Structure 1
Amino acid sequence: MSVKNTFLGNQPKSIGMAGKPITMSKLRQIIRMLHQGRSQKSIHLSTRVSINTIKAYRRKLKKSGKPIDYFLSQDELSLSKFFSSGDPAYKDIRYEQMKELLPSLSQELGKKGVTKGLLWQEYIEGHPDGYKYSQFCFHLRRYMRQKHPNLPLDHLPADKLYIDYAGATLPYIDAETGEVINCQVFVACLPYSDYCFAMAVPSQTTDDFIFALKCCLEHLGGVPKALVPDNLKAAVVQTNRYEPKINRVLEDFANHYGTVVVPARPRKPQDKALVENQVKLIYQRAYARMRNQQYFSLQELNNALISYIGKHNQTRMQKRDYCRTEQFVSKEKPLLSPLPDQPFEIKYYRNYTVAQNGHVLMGIDQRHYSVPFEYIGQKAQLIYTDTIVNIFVQSKLVATHRRNKTSGYTTNKDHLCSQHQHYRSRSTDNYLKKASMCPELERMMEVMISKKQYPEQLFRSFDGLLNLMRSYPKEHFETAIRMAIEAEQYNYTFVQNVLRNKTYINSSPPPQTPLPQHENTRGKSYYN
């Protein structure tokens, strides 16, 4: 089922011998009556065509040398060519002069700032006896229509969605600052039913365009087979008549919703005439009614706009016995493809080099994300959404992270080399577990932890002590640790000096010699 929106020029429906139009059906009646032998007066009384015209027809028939019934079997085009005496306007010398100018005039009219009035003034200066303005415009317009004929477009239900922005903006007032904020108006329509959708958005950026398009498809409750945007920067990166370069985000959107993008040809408004017409109707049926109202948020503005668009869609169409909403709901909505289960998230694409520390810096958030250490120094592509960051190297997905919009580092420990993994995994529990094979060292570490030193310095001391344990014989190391505990020197340097200077050799306590017996010795009873 299809509808036609534009029409070709009509074929001639009437013809006259003296400038007065006569319909083809009446002309056939006159020929039939002449064939029957009726008088000119009776034909005049029956058809109300002047006797002079009937005489002219009779003379022309006799002059042809063909029987009258021959003409009754001819089609309308053949009769028109035979009986037409031609338009006298095209035999005028003025037309012959203008005919030579028509190609250049139509070319000039396409230039910026050139109007028909300006062209006529230049024409009349060179041809003072030429056509007046109305006839000049008539012949120029007729020539341009012949040069650029219209083609009737047949639209199928649920086939295309035309997309554009209205030229005029809609304002709202910021309730806090009192600033007047002008919003762009996104407009879309389904050509089969002429069903319209419109909403105000802050700008024509890609984010706002995709958001409006997403709201539009959710409002329609389905997806058409093709999206036909104008050559907007948010939709088309590079215009081309045959293969336009589509915005990567819009391509992702179309793939997510299971549709395709077919932009209108550049500078060809007839490709999207319906949405252009919808913009004009929105000016009349929404803008005009909203002009004296004040709105204090984007939401208020959109509520009013959507309300007026709803009334527009429910208005009975001219020369139709239905409204746009009825046609859409009954004929088009059931044929739309279903919406996807998951909402669409915009993907952004950035190229970076993996830094020496095994991270990629995403500039927009000043956040570093880790990749496996073997990719250090290679080119990486970040594809990120509002929630996820995917990192690709040579088209291979090597890392996925949750997006964090604050500056800093997001590191997956599995991405680090063994030395860095050890460094990242340090903790007091891990060190105590490693020291458990030497109870004296474990006891010393517990005392050091209780002193609440700065973790980085504490871990360095633990690394030094563990290194000494691996470097010296067990009995010597245990003796050095006992000496440090007895001296309350809970640090790496003391233990190192004991081992390096071999102080542990003389570590046995000196023998105690008893005091000599003499009479000055005081017993314990003295202190009682």
Structure 2
Amino acid sequence: MLRYSDILKLKEEGFSLRSIASSTGNSRQKVTEVTERAKQKGLVGPFDDEMTDKWIEEFLFPEKSLESSGRYPIDFDHVHKELAKPNVTLSLLHYEYEIECRANKKIPYSYRSFVRHYSTYANKHKATLRIRRKPGEIMEVDWAGSTTFIIDRDTGEKVKAYVFVATLPCSQLSYAEASLSMDLSAWITCHNHAYTYFGGSTQIVVPDNLKTGVTKNTSRELVLNPTYREMAEHYGTVIMPARVSAPKDKSSVEGSVGAISTWIIAALRHSHCFSIDELDREVQTKLEEFNQRPFTRKDGSRFTAFEQEERFALSPLPDSFYKLSTWRTAKVRPDYHISVDSMFYSVPYEYINRQVEVRLTEQLIEIYFNHMRIASHKRMNGRFGQLSTQHDHMPDNHRLYIDQTPANAKEWAEEVGPNTLKVVDFLLDTIQPEKLALQSIFSLKKMERRYSKYEIERACKMIITMTNRPTVKSIQSLLVSNKKNDAEQELKRKSENTNKHYGFMRGAAYYGGVDHNE
């Protein structure tokens, strides 16, 4: 066996490759290969008693021990890299390895030996073992069973505080945050902060079956809290709650909860914090120490494992946090409004007496019917009873009434004609208060449903010639009278044309006499 330790020691002492080769009896090519591989693997002295030449050979050249068995060597770096990809398993990689062996007419390792050798390699050379957990696949979340506290400055009373825990099972990197409550707002806020801490989102989130996140979870049906589901959609992830009474479904976070209860919550037992922000700063300090603590059975820490093996696999975060929203149901009132916190928001009048879903954020109210958004309003604050009514939500008759302002009335009159404008101006100038004048003009405007603009303009022209004080009622009477006269004249005209051009009376000439009309 090569004297690996001697080669590396002489290299660290500054001897040249030629001198090392002469001293150890190896070729310069072999010395170069050993020193380069040690540099790649980060192997440096001093070497303890356990780091024998055999150990160093297995560390630097794991494939050599496999070659001695006479079977086709396994490219462990390739296997470890491929396992990070979605849906890739050791079973698939072993199948591809067997195909490669047959192509090269070599004897492959069995699947069991393939898995065992990979596990040995990963445990010795890599920060993570990817057989069970893929990087960036899962984030497990829960509230720690143990609690901590803050002290009320005024009374000296201890106020209970809770600790949120999120863990990435692949690298075991964890996040923790102190909170005064375990309600939906705190739950969503802690998720936002966890994603920021990790610098990305995972494909799946595995929570416990707490009521703030999961409404119902049975073998046949899963119903998530709408806000929690919406948060998952915002981050492009999927919520898959652990099965009821199945702690193994989120074993990593259960283990992290226990460790954090010791290294963070118990470690802060002598601390005296007077606000939740102060307590959370202490938690974050202990969290950094926890994630930087070296592993006991392999090199590195949770943080280095995350940097080397998992950060690359996380999905990028959206440009902004998920903004907390809550959902309610409401019934549309006969005035086509719904009530939310004693404020009233309109919906299209077609949904009167329908049950709708309402999404509330700090700035916005969104109204849904059968999962389709039918209205949105800026959320109102201040005194109760305020109305937010959109013009398009009103029935036609309401819309016409609301549109009545002096400016709109004059604009309509100008479209009809100059005489109508004179009448409208007279009504606005003489009738007080202005609201009564607008009501009269609205009555005149409604005549457009039965009469054309030409007929209204003609009636206004006639009333102006008759009196200096026109009224809407007199105009309405003229419209009826004119309509009747026009109908009579049209009937008379048609009768005359029929007798003149379409008669069937035979003249005298037909009977051999003289027709005097010719």
1:235 to 201, 206, 213: 213
1:355 maps onto 2:333 in alignment: yes
1:372 maps onto 2:341 in alignment: no
1:156-235 residue pairs with structure 2 within 5 A? Answer: 156-173=134-151, 180-235=158-213
1:71-150 residue pairs with structure 2 within 5 A? Answer: none
- Shifted more, 316-325 versus 239-248: the winner is 239-248
Match of 1:482 in 2: 468
Deviation at 1:391, TM superposition (A): 2.9
> Structure 1's 466 and 412: CA in aligned 2 closer, same or farther, altered over 3 A?
closer
> What CA distance in whole angstroms lies between the structure 2 residues aligned with 1:461 and 1:196?
73
> Structure 1's 498 and 175: CA in aligned 2 closer, same or farther, altered over 3 A?
same
Deviation at 1:309, TM superposition (A): 0.6
TM-score, L = length of structure 2? 0.56
Aligned-residue Cα RMSD (Å) equals: 3.6
For the 8 Å contact 1:183–1:203, the answer to whether it is kept is yes
1:336 maps onto 2:336 in alignment: no
> What CA distance in whole angstroms lies between the structure 1 residues aligned with 2:406 and 2:170?
72
Deviation at 1:306, TM superposition (A): 0.7
For the 8 Å contact 1:173–1:294, the answer to whether it is kept is yes
> What CA distance in whole angstroms lies between the structure 1 residues aligned with 2:476 and 2:171?
93
Deviation at 1:443, TM superposition (A): 4.9
> What CA distance in whole angstroms lies between the structure 2 residues aligned with 1:280 and 1:330?
25
For the 8 Å contact 1:476–1:499, the answer to whether it is kept is no
Match of 1:409 in 2: 387
2:439 to 443, 451, 460: 460
For 1:166, the aligned partner's letter is A
> Structure 1's 290 and 422: CA in aligned 2 closer, same or farther, altered over 3 A?
same
What does the per-residue CA deviation read over 1:373-404, in whole Å, with 9 as the maximum and x for residues that have no partner?
A: 33333343334444333333344433333333
SS in 2 for 1:164: strand
For the 8 Å contact 1:432–1:445, the answer to whether it is kept is no
1:252 maps onto 2:238 in alignment: no
Match of 1:325 in 2: 303
> Structure 1's 472 and 234: CA in aligned 2 closer, same or farther, altered over 3 A?
same
Deviation at 1:285, TM superposition (A): 2.2
What does the per-residue CA deviation read over 1:98-124, in whole Å, with 9 as the maximum and x for residues that have no partner?
A: xxxxxxxxxxxxxxxxxxxxxxxxxxx
> What CA distance in whole angstroms lies between the structure 2 residues aligned with 1:355 and 1:242?
36
Match of 2:271 in 1: 293
Deviation at 1:251, TM superposition (A): 2.3
SS in 1 for 2:310: helix
For 2:145, the aligned partner's letter is G
Deviation at 1:276, TM superposition (A): 2.4
For 2:304, the aligned partner's letter is E
SS in 1 for 2:468: helix
Runs of at least 5 residues in structure 2 that lack an aligned partner in the other structure: 1-129, 448-454, 478-518
For 2:376, the aligned partner's letter is T
Deviation at 1:466, TM superposition (A): 7.0
Deviation at 1:317, TM superposition (A): 2.0
Deviation at 1:444, TM superposition (A): 3.7
For 2:203, the aligned partner's letter is K
Runs of at least 5 residues in structure 1 that lack an aligned partner in the other structure: 1-151, 485-491, 501-528
> Structure 1's 242 and 268: CA in aligned 2 closer, same or farther, altered over 3 A?
farther
What does the per-residue CA deviation read over 1:135-167, in whole Å, with 9 as the maximum and x for residues that have no partner?
A: xxxxxxxxxxxxxxxxx9833322221211112
> Structure 1's 278 and 394: CA in aligned 2 closer, same or farther, altered over 3 A?
closer
Match of 2:357 in 1: 381
1:391 maps onto 2:377 in alignment: no
1:421 maps onto 2:399 in alignment: yes
For the 8 Å contact 1:368–1:410, the answer to whether it is kept is yes
Deviation at 1:482, TM superposition (A): 3.4
Alignment coverage as a number of residue pairs: 335
What does the per-residue CA deviation read over 1:449-505, in whole Å, with 9 as the maximum and x for residues that have no partner?
A: 8x7x4x544533554687899699546743787359xxxxxxx7xx979999xxxxx
SS in 1 for 2:367: strand
For the 8 Å contact 1:241–1:266, the answer to whether it is kept is no
> What CA distance in whole angstroms lies between the structure 1 residues aligned with 2:263 and 2:476?
94
Match of 1:80 in 2: none
What does the per-residue CA deviation read over 1:247-305, in whole Å, with 9 as the maximum and x for residues that have no partner?
A: 33322222222222222222233333332232232233222332233323222221111
TM-score, L = length of structure 1? 0.55
SS in 2 for 1:330: helix
SS in 2 for 1:280: helix
Q: Which has the larger radius of gyration?
A: 1
> What CA distance in whole angstroms lies between the structure 2 residues aligned with 1:246 and 1:430?
50
For the 8 Å contact 1:480–1:498, the answer to whether it is kept is no
For the 8 Å contact 2:147–2:265, the answer to whether it is kept is no
> What CA distance in whole angstroms lies between the structure 2 residues aligned with 1:350 and 1:465?
44
2:376 to 400, 403, 410: 400
- Shifted more, 172-181 versus 270-279: the winner is 172-181
> What CA distance in whole angstroms lies between the structure 1 residues aligned with 2:475 and 2:226?
68
> What CA distance in whole angstroms lies between the structure 2 residues aligned with 1:352 and 1:183?
35
For 1:482, the aligned partner's letter is N
